[in-house]
């Protein structure tokens, strides 16, 4: 089962935040966005729909959703922020980022999960979230001549 808009709305309410038409719309769109999206891409989607939401509102809600654990920031190499939805049952995963073509490949790796839990125990660190990003060349780009 994946996260529903209502689930997120309930979380907002529990956190003492008000449920507005704009927030409802933003949440519904976020759940339909591709794996990784930026604030700008989200805004573009919102403007394709009937509901208009201002940049400010989107920018104000996203950090709250991060705090609530609904989305998390990923793919930091890029110039602007990217987010992805944290599914209920979704395993933590990492990203393989191709330096040549920009493609982002998601991967899951239980061994990494286990290692991270071990590190946190060792350092008595309370683990909230983590990101693992590997940059390099994807299979296709390894064969191609460099172009920079």
- Residue 14 binds what, of a copy of itself, DNA, none (CB under 5 to 8 Å, by partner type)? none
> Could you tell me the smallest distance in angstroms from the CB atom of residue 12 to DNA?
8
- Closest to 35 (Cα-Cα) out of 116, 110, 93: 93
The region of 17-25, 29-37, 48-56, 117-125 touching a copy of itself under the rule CB under 8 A is 117-125
d(CA 98, CA 48): 30
Q: Exposed, middle or buried: residue 65 (CB in 10 Å: 0-12, 13-18, 19+)?
A: buried
| Whether 71 contacts 65, CB under 8 Å | yes
x/- site string to a copy of itself, residues 28 to 67, per CB under 8 A? ----------------------------------------
Site string for a copy of itself, 76-115 (x = CB under 8 A): xx----------------x-x--x-----x-x-x-xx-xx
Q: What angle do CA 78, 89, 83 make, to 5 degrees?
A: 15
Min dist. Cβ of residue 78 to DNA (A): 9
Which tokens hold the place of 117? 């839990």
Binder among 57, 68, 112, 137 for DNA (CB under 7 A): 57
Q: How far apart are CA 16 and CA 5, in angstroms?
A: 17
Min. distance of Cβ 102 from DNA in angstroms? 15
C-alpha to C-alpha distance for 27 and 39, rounded to whole angstroms: 12
- Residues in the site for a copy of itself, rule: CB under 8 A? 73, 76-77, 94, 96, 99, 105, 107, 109, 111-112, 114-116, 118-120, 122-139, 142
């Amino acid at each position: 089962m994946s996260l529903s808009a209502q689930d997120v709305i309930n979380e907002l309410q529990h956190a003492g935040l008000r449920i507005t038409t704009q927030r409802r719309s933003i949440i519904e769109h976020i759940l339909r966005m591709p794996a990784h999206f930026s604030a700008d891409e989200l805004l573009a989607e919102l403007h394709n729909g009937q509901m208009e939401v201002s940049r400010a509102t989107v920018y104000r809600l996203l950090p709250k959703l991060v705090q609530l654990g609904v989305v998390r920031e990923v793919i930091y190499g890029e110039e602007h922020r990217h987010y992805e939805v944290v599914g209920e049952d979704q395993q933590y995963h990492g990203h393989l980022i191709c330096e040549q073509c920009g493609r982002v490949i998601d991967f899951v790796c239980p061994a990494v999960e286990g290692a991270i839990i071990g590190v946190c125990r060792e350092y008595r660190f309370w683990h909230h979230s983590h990101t693992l990003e590997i940059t390099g060349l994807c299979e296709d780009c390894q064969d191609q001549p460099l172009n920079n």
